[in-house]
Structure 1
Amino acid sequence: MKVKVCCKNLKRCDGKSAVKALKGEFPDVKWKKKDCLGRCGACKKGAIAEVGKGEAFLCKKDPDTLYAELKKLLVSAKTG
């Protein structure tokens, strides 16, 4: 599984610690940081991430909520 995060969004919403925690919990996941995911409308609303090859795009109000949602997705993908 691959997760893409937007560097600009992480800085804007202070989400680096959430991504760092998830990297530690899910070392087998490929994490890719991009300068911009091209989702400016969503980026202004909250913390964003893209999961898989367009499988899911998450936009949550804050990094903690994004962390919880990503964790739920990654656990379910891992179990199957």
Structure 2
Amino acid sequence: MKTIKYCCRNERLGSKTVYKGLKHEYPDVKQKKKDCLGHCKQCHKQCIARVGKGNLVCADSPDELYAQLKRIIEQSREKECVTV
């Protein structure tokens, strides 16, 4: 699983709760908070996170972002099980 990065400026829209929830449920997944991810137009409108180097995940609510990231994590784990 690649690292999930969050914009610290996006915390006001709820990304902080997503970070904490995933940290609790998936302690082995690498997560980082960055001062800015460089996607300011999206960041002001929606909850965002970046998976890996370029996969920006956007959602209208923290719950939706959490569900999308959880799905990405699960899919990543399924691929790891198949290739091993």
Q: TM-score, normalized by length of structure 2?
A: 0.85
Deviation at 1:77, TM superposition (A): 0.3
Q: Which position in structure 2 is the counterpart of 1:48?
A: 48
- Which is further off, 24-33 or 63-72? 24-33
Deviation at 1:62, TM superposition (A): 1.2
Q: Structure 1: which 5+ residue stretches go unaligned?
A: none
Q: Which position in structure 1 is the counterpart of 2:9?
A: 8
The answer as to 2:47 corresponding to 1:75 is: no
How many matched pairs? 78
Q: Which amino acid aligns with 1:77?
A: S
Moved over 6 A (4+): none
Q: Structure 2: which 5+ residue stretches go unaligned?
A: 80-84
Q: TM-score, normalized by length of structure 1?
A: 0.89
**Rg comparison, structure with higher value:** 2
CA-atom RMSD, angstroms?
1.0
